[in-house]
A and B are shown apart, each in its own frame.
Chain A
């Protein structure tokens, strides 16, 4: 399928400033291509070059097979509709009149909107949930209403290419999904969509392909799962993130954990954390940021805590998904426990599979802190775990009610003066 909108090694920018160099991308009908990247990287500039607000200084952009330079503004506006980042309205047009302004490129010089234009406008207003606002003056409407009216206005142009510039950033959750569902529908019925996204999860969910704009270039464009990877997020956004799969939509989901270069605290000492199923994620991040050398006891791959530990590049013992803490893993955890200044057991249930983590810290009772009482609701090992916990407590392990108290205990257990640090 030939692309409706094609960037061929296009260099775009403003007079005296080159913003993006050598971008190559094709957007065919029926596809939503998302652009992501840090603020100021040039995502919007790539869009604005299509409508002439930014300039193409190298390579070319073609629309429906014709070079941009050969297309006049009116003809271009019949092909391309734009939904801008922010819409301002300081004048009292009614919402209907506002949407009808989108008919401009289809009307002759002395021609004015007729019944067909009005019924088209009302149809697109229906689809964008703005028809009920039709007679309201636009300067009294909210930013979200205006944003949807701008989409209606763009659709009134009957474009074959739609450019969205963070078009949903001012919308509430409901309307955001509504608008993006509508855009998805329009794409499925043949529209070519190029959209700048601010939200990575939405980008992954609604785009067929994603491109990353960073450092003055457009990176390779591909399926969201191939593009949105932890190394890319670290390189482009400077964020260490857990990239997983959204359990409901099945699309790529990004959870930022830590900014690259985030200032860490001055705390010293080694802390071993026993967690699982998300009971330790917050504590791992917090202790890491405080400056501790944090280790994670054996965790299954696919577990949230494991993903966070991996993202933070912590010392850890990884188990296969659904694997048990075998004797090798148990020895590794025991070694970490012996080297640690403090051991924290999070509010994780214990069963046969992870009982090894508890056995491994048997010798570290004096520096162990339990978060929460160990009740029946956490006992899945037929009593073995309860016995181990009782032994540890008898040998001096503490129990605190929440993570907050646990951190206070860790601070107490570790020495406030730093000995020269081992390299981390």
Chain B
């Protein structure tokens, strides 16, 4: 593989962005009411210009557009977090779920959700905050547990993550049983869905994605060096312990953003970086942005399937990603010896 040139990187990103734009256009167009690309662009331009809405604009501007954008943002969050954890653990099977961070964010979000069940307006602030607190507390706990034996080594980290996941899942069930009246909506949310998508969620997740990607995007060389192992990364000039903490925090922010709006959606964070890596190689300078865009594409399409396949019934998007991702995970396990 040649050294990725500026032109090659630009090509990959532009192609992916074009695919994303096309997917979003298709996703906005399909649904209970089908709309053409012309309608979409006219509705959007009227909304931007502040002109009076035509009939049908509401479906596009208030329902489909925020939902599709939110799906893209959530997909980008999950895939980027997957990239970060796979680099951190040098393991293509690692993702936020194995670490217990999703479960932690989920518990935080469920507590926030039940605590504010009657005050919907509060949810935008409280649920993501709860999810972030949950994710951060979980990772702090997992890291503490894992470092009981000294330096933060990967095996103990994964073990601690799995153990904590079980405890958190039990606690989440406990909270749900305790607050039966909100159980149905919580269960649906937990399965992973974007039904509640609206502009406030978009404006909440977008800055979290941006903030969560800033540090990793400016440290892609360090991410590459982490692939050589922690000791070697240290020998080559990475402040490993500090970098790991920053990565975990950035990942927690990304996970919290995704979990707080869409519940537990699995496999996007695992599958997307892996596929992207197979195509463009392991250099994070390209892998990270390409995976973020790739995750957005996967999520937009998965959500489209979730909305339309059994219309008018909508299934949680988490079921769609699990149905695609599960077999993919098994395939990864089977060809493990050939992994890259």
Contact = CB atoms under 8 A, between A and B. Distances in A.
Contacts of A100: 3
B186 interface: no
B229 to A, nearest CB: 7
Interface in B215-236: 218-219, 221-222, 224-225, 227-229, 231-232, 234-236
B50 interface: no
B312 interface: no
A157 interface: yes
A113 B340 contact: no
A97 interface: yes
B242 to A, nearest CB: 9
Interface stretch (A88-96, A216-224, A375-383): A88-96
Given A14-B150, A110-B218, A118-B3, A92 B236 contact: no
Contact of A137 (B1, B221, B277, B285): B1
B237 interface: yes
A77 to B, nearest CB: 3
A104 B221 contact: yes
Nearest to A109: B218
A14 to B, nearest CB: 7
B281 interface: yes
Nearest to A52: B234
A247 interface: no
B227 A91 contact: yes
Interface in A360-397: none
A14 B227 CA distance: 23
A51 B234 contact: yes
A166 to B, nearest CB: 15
Contact of B90 (A14, A74, A90, A139): A90
A175 B226 CA distance: 28
A189 interface: no
A84 interface: yes
A2 B121 CA distance: 70
B45 to A, nearest CB: 36
B238 interface: yes
B236 A88 contact: no
A91 B225 contact: no
| A interface bracket (residues with beta carbon within 8 Å of B) | 35 or more
A4 interface: no
B273 to A, nearest CB: 12
A107 B221 contact: yes
Interface string B146-161: 0000110000000000
Contacts of B150: 14-16
A135 interface: yes
Nearest to B221: A104
Contacts of A137: 1, 340
B282 interface: yes
| B interface bracket (residues with beta carbon within 8 Å of A) | 20 to 34
A72 interface: yes
A200 to B, nearest CB: 26
A157 B3 contact: no
A228 to B, nearest CB: 29
A104 B339 contact: no
Contact of A91 (B2, B231, B234, B340): B340
B62 interface: no
Q: Which of B1, B228, B239 has the most CB of A within 10 A?
A: B228
A402 B228 CA distance: 55
A105 interface: yes
A91 B282 contact: yes
A82 B235 contact: yes
Contacts of A16: 150
B57 interface: no
Nearest to B285: A112
B315 to A, nearest CB: 36
B39 interface: no
Contacts of B222: 104
B235 A51 contact: yes
Interface string A293-312: 00000000000000000000
B340 A92 contact: yes
B169 to A, nearest CB: 31
Contacts of A80: 235
A80 B94 CA distance: 32
B283 interface: yes
A76 interface: yes
Interface of A: 14-16, 48, 51-53, 72-74, 76-78, 80-82, 84, 87-88, 90-94, 96-97, 100-102, 104-105, 107, 109-110, 112-113, 118, 135, 137, 139, 153, 157
Given A77-B235, A84-B231, 5 more contacts: A91-B340, A93-B283, A94-B2, A107-B221, A109-B218
14 contacts: A15-B150, A74-B237, A77-B237, A81-B235, A90-B90, A91-B227, A92-B282, A93-B283, A96-B3, A101-B224, A105-B236, A105-B237, A112-B221, A137-B340
Sorted nearest first, the 5 A-B pairs with minimum C-beta distance are A77-B237, A105-B237, A74-B237, A82-B235, A91-B282
